[in-house]
Structure 1
Amino acid sequence: MNGNDRPVVMVTGGAGYIGSHAVLALADAGWRVVVLDNLITGFRWAVDPRAAFVEGAIEDMALVGRIIADHGVGAILHFAGSVVVPESVADPLKYYRNNTAATRSLLESAVAGGVRHFIFSSTAATYGIPESIPIREDAPKAPINPYGASKLMTERMLADVAAAHPMNYGALRYFNVAGADPGGRSGQSTTGATHLIKVAAEAVTGQRDHVAVFGTDYATPDGTGVRDYIHVSDLADAHVHALEALIAAPTESFTLNCGYGRGYSVLEVLDAVDRATNHPIERRMLPRRPGDPDALVADNAAILARLPWRPKRDDLDVIVADALRWQRHLADLATA
């Protein structure tokens, strides 16, 4: 399939962290892309210039309908939404509006516009506290916060829409996304980050004076929580492969974990940061946060069997190095 035979892809949230990397991966592979983003948390500069850009909301059905018609959109990669777990607990209605209700409107626009393929940015938070590790896709879904619940509702909507209309979908459940584009074109740029590697990178560049370690009494080798970290560029590549799979088998849909199948503890991650800088950052041991599982590690057998995707940056030191390089770039911009 050459570039002209491929459908135009609309990327919602394409000015955000993961979305901007997906746009890069699509454009690098020759896809034609249009980005829709309201720029509330995204950045206009993060959108690759090879993509068309429209500022607006996914729930604006008239606007989405025009984009689909004007650009000939045949596939949607949907990243737009709210993603901060503690905020979802404090403001659940925001999450059900931005993640669930807005996606319902987007799906209605997609069906009306004849969009045939839909990839959804889902999350391991749909599993809640897992019964066993590593976590398979058929594990019980019991989210413990509104963020996970809002994403799980969207997965159910997608299944129902695909059963009723000529659309197939891929729901990709991310584990812990980290790192930055190896070419320095994009990275995690939002303020008030809660992800460990981003927080540690901010400590390295002087934006924080310490890193909090929440809980040292977990049932893990060193007592701190274990997570499966996936490089954002590998994750972006997985979306391109997933899109190709949907087009190749237009009556088939799938739900796949996106992780490496290997977990690292909080202390192991901070050790990697210290190795990269030769300057240890201060660690403050604090009590557990409510609802944090001991470990979240993907069983990634299904994605490796279903797609030709193979990780290229499956190395904690590489993930940390790319994140630090991007954070230093941001710090240089702030002081320029």
Structure 2
Amino acid sequence: MKILVTGGAGYVGSVTVRHLLDSWHQVIVLDTLERGWAEAVDRRAQLFVGNVGDPEALDEVLPGCDAVMHLAGYIDVAESQADPGMYFRNNVSRAQVLLDAMVRHEIGAIVFSSTAAVYGEPETIPVLESAPTRPISAYGASKLIFEQLLDWYERLHFIRTMRFRYFNVAGAWPDGSLGEAHHPETHILPRILQSMAEGQAVFEVYGDNHPTPDGTCVRDYVHVLDLAHAHLLGLERLAEGGEGGIFNLGSGRGFSNLEVVRACAEVTGCKVQVKVGPSRAGDPAMLVACIEKTLMNLGWMPERSSLENMVADAWTWHQARPRGYRTDDTATSAA
């Protein structure tokens, strides 16, 4: 199949692009490179620098495509709280232009990277796909609104949709050639490893007053390669005429921030002292996925998603590319 991957120069996007190519699919990447890296895009893919909100760019890249993987979007919870309008413009308004272009070019399948942030503070753990969606951040709200748009485009324009609600993505390509490179970094696991790689003695966690066993946030982590494979399975399911739907992507296990710090120390042999900072607005106390629906319907397994394995692969990446994809002191973009 020929697939357009939006955001294919970012963390999840670059790994997914390589996995698709290794599975003998043809890939076109559309990315602004505002928060992505051209260096992360596999050379076998065709890279177009452009925005999903630009109809002319879409008219250039969509002809001949069989499906779309929409992975582009802003993902920083704190940033979304500070500037919600930017998130709704980028994650909703521009993305709707993509849907209209799909209708125009008669492309009938899309795989969308949504988020567990749509659940807000869940009533029960683990979280089922049928759980109420009450996001507590503008980021989560923007993803939920686009999911609702997909409902209407599926109903009125017969675009079949596969929506993956990511929990916390971690790890890297095992040889250290692709990995997470946000600048500044806000995700806890790469922040810990960066601190360790740079020899910093103190690491700050966001709050210890949450209603969890040790007071720090609890999250479900899934390896980025397992995530990429789920996208491949979802795409193939749609191509074979199977039903789409909403699926959680996680490991089904939760780890507190302090447990993640300890796992990083055990894997790397490095130690840091934990400092407790203020909690972040929009951060739920606990998010752990129920993945039974994904396992049963897609035949997917999170094979690489032990915490130790994700830390080890991410550590290989940080050691191989301590500056990520940056090549000079002035580079600032990441995704």
Question: Shorter chain as normaliser: what TM range?
Answer: over 0.9
Partner of 2:53: 59
RMSD over aligned CA atoms reads 1.6
Confirm whether residue 160 of structure 1 aligns to residue 141 of structure 2.
no
* Residues 283-332 of structure 1: per-residue CA shift (max 9 Å, x gap): 10223333432210001011011101111212101100111111122227
Please give the alpha-carbon distance, in whole angstroms, between the structure 1 residues aligned to 2:48 and 2:287. Answer: 36
Consecutive unaligned residues in structure 2, runs of 5 or more:
329-335
Secondary structure at the aligned position of 1:331 is classed as: coil
Alignment match of 1:25 (pick from 19, 25, 35): 19
Which residue number corresponds to residue 280 of structure 1?
271
- Asked if 1:218 corresponds to 2:204, the answer is no
Q: What does 1:118-267 align with in structure 2 at a 5 Å threshold?
A: 118-206=110-198, 209-249=201-241, 252-267=243-258
Q: How does 1:103-122 map to 2 (within 5 A)?
A: 103-122=95-114
Q: Deviations over 1:89-122 (max 9, x none)?
A: 1111110111000110000001111111100010
- Decide whether the 8 Å contact of 1:74 with 1:114 is kept in 2: no
**CA shift digits 1:139-158 (9 cap, x unpaired):** 01011111001000100011
Give distance in 2, aligned partners of 1:88 and 1:332.
25
The answer to whether the Cα contact below 8 Å between 2:169 and 2:224 also exists between their aligned partners in 1 is yes
Alpha-carbon contact 2:19-2:228 (below 8 Å) kept: yes
Give the Cα separation in 2 of the matches to 1:183 and 1:26.
Answer: 18
After TM superposition, the runs of 4+ consecutive aligned structure 1 residues lying more than 4 A away are 332-336
Q: Tell me the alpha carbon deviations over residues 237-278 of structure 1, each in whole angstroms, 9 at most, x when there is no partner.
A: 10000001111125x320100011100111110001110122
Q: Identity over the aligned pairs, expressed in percent?
A: 41
2:307 to 308, 311, 316: 316
Partner of 2:68, secondary structure, is strand
Are the aligned partners of 1:189 and 1:330 in contact in 2 as well (CA < 8 Å)?
Answer: no
Give, in whole Å, the separation in 2 of the partners of 1:272 and 1:51: 35
Q: Size of the alignment, in residue pairs?
A: 327
Matched residue, 1:298: 289
Cα shift at 1:65 = 1.4
Letter in structure 2 aligned against 1:145: S
1:40 aligned partner, one-letter code? E
Q: Counterparts of 1:219 and 1:147 in 2: how far apart (Å)? A: 23
Aligned-pair CA distance for 1:179: 0.8
1:209 deviates by: 5.0
CA distance in 2, matches of 1:225, 1:332: 28
Matched, 1:75 2:103: no
* Inter-partner Cα distance in structure 2 for 1:191 and 1:292: 20
SS in structure 1 of the partner of residue 13 of structure 2: helix
The DSSP-based 3-state class of the residue aligned with 1:154 is helix
| Kept in 1: contact 2:176–2:314 (CA 8 A) | no
Tell me the TM-score normalised to structure 2 length.
0.94
Identify the residue that residue 92 of structure 1 maps to in structure 2. Answer: 84
Which residue does the alignment assign to 1:3? none
CA 287–189 in structure 1, closer or farther in 2 if over 3 Å, else same:
closer
In structure 1, the gaps of 5 or more residues are 1-6
Alpha-carbon distance in 1 for matches of 2:27, 2:4 = 6
What residue number does 1:289 align with?
280
Higher relative contact order (CA 8 A, sep 6+): 2
